[in-house]
Chains A and B, each alone.
Chain A
């Protein structure tokens, strides 16, 4: 009984972290679920990429590793709802297990919708950063191409570093090519609009939120993650400028 309950709590926490929930939210949710399910002496330590827990006076232990996060807030909400229902007594262990399986199986948004939203989002950001019609159109196209590329790379199973560098390279190259056709184009605005989808702004802000919550280890992990992604994007952009300069004679 306790093993199953502990397992459920661990999987719920793992689902939250792997889909973009915050560290303290995963911790709170797991504590509440364990209390509702009657897991004795439940102790848990949550990091950005791992969960360590013990129960029953330390005789039962469990560890989960969450190597990569892909944000799916629908699943976070579903797990939150499970813990709420458990605490209110509307779900028992079997029901919660079924509900968690359903939450994990929530499908991702359709590919076409994601493409469209990435393109439109890029265009909107180009406008918000002061771009005019040409910049918006370029950002729209670059954002579209870049999300097709990241999707293909993810399907092929390559690393995130590779996909970030390549995506940044692609959208910068496209915008620079566009500037050859339209000399008045403000390349920076269009590039930032298209890159906004990839920039680790959320990781940076969430890392600092972890610091404010006095969770220095998780904050550090997120900050380093943000720095790594930012470095990758910069490499991609620099590479594109370099190639454009050598091959096409574009001055940065």
Chain B
């Protein structure tokens, strides 16, 4: 990796962090969690761009990125004794298929059926990959004393 590539990764990381913190402000997260939210989002985005640069498709890259992202959220949820939702909702924002939704609806209105279908299926794939990644990491059991501290943590089955 050249120095330039490394610098660009660092810039992406920082910008993703700022973007996530901005969203945690509009989601009214208490101030003490801002940094944790920012880190969660930035980690997810960094893994995502590294994966897409390595040639993975967007849904696969999203799935791979959702794993460390959710792990970060769980870690912060335990450390800060806060529900995992706080970090997860803000942290997934850079990965959420907002652009895909936009293009799908846009092509739909433009009557470009095949483009609309392509974008729609990709958007759905990304959303499923993201949700699967979250569910995978959330359902990993934790050692007992940690999970006791993380009271009311993620429970995937009823």
Considering the complex, which residues of chain B in the window 35-50 have a beta carbon less than 8 Å from any beta carbon of chain A?
A: 45
Interface of B (DSSP majority class): helix
The reply to whether the CB of A42 lies closer than 8 angstroms to some CB of chain B is: no
| Contact present for B102 and A233 (CB under 8 Å) | yes
Please list 13 pairs of residues, one from A and one from B, whose beta carbons are closer than 8 Å in the complex, sorted by A's number: A21-B83, A24-B158, A71-B28, A83-B152, A124-B18, A192-B98, A199-B96, A199-B99, A201-B96, A204-B96, A204-B101, A235-B109, A238-B106
What is the number of contacts between chain A and chain B, taking CB atoms within 8 Å?
A: 169
Stretch at the interface among A57-65, A112-120, A174-182: A112-120
Q: Please give the distance in Å from B22's CB to the nearest CB on chain A.
A: 3
Could you say which residues of chain B place their CB within 8 Å of the CB of A129? 99
Please give the residue numbers on chain B whose beta carbons come within 8 Å of chain A beta carbons, in ascending order.
Answer: 12, 15-16, 18-19, 21-30, 45, 81-83, 85-86, 89-90, 92-94, 96-99, 101-102, 104-106, 108-110, 123, 127-128, 130-132, 134-135, 151-152, 155-158
Bound-state Cα–Cα, A127 to B82, Å: 31
Could you say which residues of chain B place their CB within 8 Å of the CB of A71? 26-28, 89
| Contact present for B105 and A231 (CB under 8 Å) | yes
Could you say which residues of chain A place their CB within 8 Å of the CB of B157? 213
Contact with B along A112-147 (1 / 0, CB 8 A): 011001101100110111000000000000000000
| Contact present for B22 and A22 (CB under 8 Å) | no
Interface residues on A, range: 35 or more
Known: A128-B16, A200-B101. A205 touches B86 (CB 8 A): no
| Contact present for B16 and A202 (CB under 8 Å) | no
Bound-state Cα–Cα, A114 to B96, Å: 21
Chain A residue at minimum C-beta to C-beta distance from B105: A234
Bound-state Cα–Cα, A241 to B152, Å: 48
Bound-state Cα–Cα, A199 to B99, Å: 8
Given contacts A117-B21, A191-B102, A201-B101, 10 further A-B contacts (CB under 8 A): A22-B85, A24-B155, A72-B27, A77-B30, A120-B22, A121-B22, A124-B15, A127-B15, A202-B96, A230-B101
Bound-state Cα–Cα, A208 to B66, Å: 14
